[in-house]
């Protein structure tokens, strides 16, 4: 198994991409901390993991708050003794024209999507330094590489995540900590459900994706397994685009 006996924290693991990553990690031998602000979603993911004989614990976490992130790491260390992998996946989307977006909406998106990467990484990196090894996988988006209308805060947060990933590599690659990004395209999750329910929007998204389907959480999960495994030890600061060819146009 590619992640045998590894300990992983996955934020936003109560649904969608995060849930897919959690299940894929467990199937590859990892023990998982499911961090999410939804108790219902987090417990559902843990239940699914237990059905496949995996080991997981749910921690209710607001990833935009340092206190919650510190508690998340503490519980992981108390239960499993170390942190080998951090997947910064939690994210939200708010659709507004920039001039109509409130400061509160802007701050909410930036705090959940980008500040959380700072807080999570800041907390786990000292543990990884003790071990002289660690893997951090940041789930960004192609919206950090190309523009999307009515997505100013989201694009800024995901572009910032990519830039922060590359900066952290310069600090921590010498200590054998690998930090990489995944940039998903359009993935069928709760976040995109409303968009895909609109026939015109769905047609646009499908026609903009050269591969003849939209993405599934499992597509991102397999990329995350690779970046979290020993197979990617010489991969650092990369943005692995998993988008069916969207940005190749």
Q: Which residues are catalytic?
A: 154
Which contacts (CB < 8 Å, 24+ apart) does range 37-46 have?
Answer: 37/61, 37/62, 37/63, 38/14, 40/14, 41/14, 41/15, 42/13, 42/14, 44/14, 44/19, 45/13, 45/14, 45/15, 45/18, 45/19
Pair of tokens at residue 105: 């909406």
Instruction: Report the DSSP beta bridge partners of residue 240.
Output: 182
Alpha carbon 236 to its chain centroid, in Å, reads: 16
């Amino acid at each position: 198994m590619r992640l045998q006996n590894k300990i992983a924290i996955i934020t936003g693991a109560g649904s969608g991409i995060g849930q897919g990553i959690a299940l894929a990690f467990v199937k590859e031998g990892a023990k998982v901390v499911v961090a999410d602000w939804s108790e219902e979603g987090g417990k559902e993911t843990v239940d699914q993991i237990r059905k496949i004989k995996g080991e997981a614990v749910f921690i209710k976490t607001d990833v935009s708050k340092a206190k919650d992130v510190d508690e998340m790491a503490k519980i992981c260390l108390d239960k499993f003794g170390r942190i080998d992998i951090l997947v910064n996946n939690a994210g939200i989307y708010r659709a507004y024209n920039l001039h109509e977006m409130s400061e509160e909406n802007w701050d909410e998106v930036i705090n959940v999507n980008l500040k959380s990467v700072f807080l999570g990484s800041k907390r786990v990196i000292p543990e990884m330094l003790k071990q002289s090894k660690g893997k951090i996988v940041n789930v960004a988006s192609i919206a950090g590489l190309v523009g999307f209308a009515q997505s100013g805060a989201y694009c800024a947060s995901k572009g910032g995540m990519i830039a922060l990933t590359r900066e952290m590599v310069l600090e921590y690659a010498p200590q054998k900590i690998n930090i990489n990004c995944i940039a998903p395209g359009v993935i069928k999750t709760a976040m995109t459900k409303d968009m895909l329910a609109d026939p015109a929007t769905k047609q646009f998204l499908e026609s903009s994706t050269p591969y003849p389907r939209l993405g599934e959480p499992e597509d991102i999960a397999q990329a995350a397994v690779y970046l979290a495994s020993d197979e990617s030890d010489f991969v650092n600061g990369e943005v692995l685009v998993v988008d069916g060819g969207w940005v190749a146009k």
